[in-house]
């Protein structure tokens, strides 16, 4: 089998990660990716997103194939912060940042792997499936780009998102849903030195609730966390109000509903106990998905890995990705590892060998 060009793959990856594209600022990288897809012969369409979301656009692209199958390949174009002025360092087959930014392998390693696989297919005049592309903006922090994506453009029933870590061969077939809570606790101000008993401390209410709340790892399928807390004006004022943001996740919808109800009820009980007012906004971030191990799409992915002597690993994850949203839209979408490691940190890195392997997998999958 023809081999992908590792040097070209790395060069393009470096080119992409050097383009600043923190969430909401994807225009420049979207233009570069658009140009690369057009050079490969794709019909490329810009899909507009609200200006309040991004200065860029989602990308839909299609390359007709001669094999009577089609698949949609998806990655997100944005990165988390700190993701500007990335300086990659290559040492002993590992690509990492200089240490003061993330690397951007999440998710540009997937984009580079796709482009290289298709370049290699075309150079060797190999027949391939019809390939659709769904690249999104602002995936980080809410999967916003995929929520805006016009799924009517996509003709494929099956897809692959390249947005996970772990060994190459990892196939995410199970992912949780997430519910978000925005909580406002309103107490009563008072002078903390002269008349503290006349006040209702919103922090005391929150502390009472949290001390009685099941958080962190609930069970093998369910987690919960309080990640944002804002409140207070001065040390001499009984805290009159407090704002919190929390989340719950579970693979199981019933467990998710139970956990969310528990969190809401615990806040309500504490507010009533202390005489505080409470408002809670509960919204669904994304739904869980689960694909049967025996699904033909999953079987085909496993076979392609096995043919390359790569052990396929069916796995679940505690995180959400664009795969959740595209699954909601009716597609069967697996999330595959590109080998990215320590993502969302300044210690992020990726092995060149892993990038080569996932690109080689894509090439193999697309010509069978």
pLDDT digits 0-9 by tens, 100-114:
999 999 999 999 999
pTM listed for this prediction:
0.93
Over residues 120-135, the mean pLDDT reads 97
Fold (CATH) for 6-175+288-366:
Aminopeptidase (3.40.630)
Q: What is the DSSP string of 219-233?
A: ETTEEEEEEEEEE-S
pLDDT digits (tens, 9 = 90+) for 244-265: 999 999 999 999 999 999 999 9
What pLDDT is recorded for position 1? 75
Task: With H, G, I as helix, E, B as strand and everything else as coil, classify residue 349.
Answer: strand
Structural domain boundaries of the chain? 6-175+288-366, 183-286
Positions annotated as catalytic residues are 78, 139
Residue 176 pLDDT > 80, yes or no?
yes
pLDDT digits (tens, 9 = 90+) for 350-365: 999 999 999 999 999 9
How would CATH label the architecture of 183-286? 2-Layer Sandwich (3.30)
Q: How far apart are CA 54 and CA 31, in angstroms?
A: 13
pLDDT digits (tens, 9 = 90+) for 201-214: 999 999 999 999 99
* Extended strands (E) in the chain: 43-47, 58-63, 67-76, 88-91, 94-97, 129-136, 158-165, 170-175, 177-186, 216-219, 222-231, 241-250, 277-286, 289-290, 313-316, 332-340, 349-351
């Amino acid at each position: 089998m023809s081999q992908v060009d590792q040097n070209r793959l790395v060069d393009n990856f470096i080119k992409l990660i050097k383009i600043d594209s923190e969430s909401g600022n994807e225009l420049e990288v979207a233009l570069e990716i658009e140009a690369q897809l057009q050079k490969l012969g794709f019909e490329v369409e810009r899909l507009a997103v609200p200006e309040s979301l991004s200065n860029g656009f989602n990308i839909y692209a299609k390359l007709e194939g001669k094999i009577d199958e089609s698949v949609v390949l998806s990655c997100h174009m944005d990165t988390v912060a700190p993701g500007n002025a990335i300086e990659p360092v290559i040492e002993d087959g590992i690509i990492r940042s200089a240490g003061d930014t993330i690397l951007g392998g999440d998710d540009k390693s997937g984009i580079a792997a796709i482009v290289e696989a298709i370049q290699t297919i075309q150079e060797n005049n190999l027949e391939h499936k019809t390939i659709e592309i769904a690249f999104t903006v602002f995936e980080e922090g809410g999967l916003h780009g995929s929520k805006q994506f016009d799924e009517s453009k996509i003709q494929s029933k099956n897809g692959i998102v390249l947005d996970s870590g772990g060994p190459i061969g990892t196939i995410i077939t199970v992912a949780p849903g997430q519910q978000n809570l925005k909580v406002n606790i309103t107490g009563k101000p008072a002078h903390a030195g002269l008349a503290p008993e006349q006040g209702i401390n919103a922090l005391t209410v929150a502390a009472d609730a949290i001390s009685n709340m099941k958080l962190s790892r609930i069970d093998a399928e369910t987690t919960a966390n309080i990640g944002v807390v804002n409140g207070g004006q001065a040390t001499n004022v009984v805290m009159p109000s407090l704002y919190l943001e929390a989340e719950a996740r579970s693979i199981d919808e019933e467990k998710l509903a139970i956990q969310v109800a528990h969190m809401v009820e615990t806040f309500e009980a504490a507010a009533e106990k202390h005489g505080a007012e409470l408002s809670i906004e509960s919204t669904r971030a994304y739904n869980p998905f689960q694909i049967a191990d025996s699904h033909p799409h999953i079987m085909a992915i496993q076979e392609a890995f096995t043919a390359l002597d790569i052990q396929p690993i069916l796995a679940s994850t505690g995180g959400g990705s664009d795969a959740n949203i595209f699954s909601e839209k009716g597609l069967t979408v697996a999330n595959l590892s590109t080998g990215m490691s320590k993502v969302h940190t300044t210690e992020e890195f990726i092995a060149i060998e892993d990038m080569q392997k996932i690109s080689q997998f894509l090439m193999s999958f697309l010509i069978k």
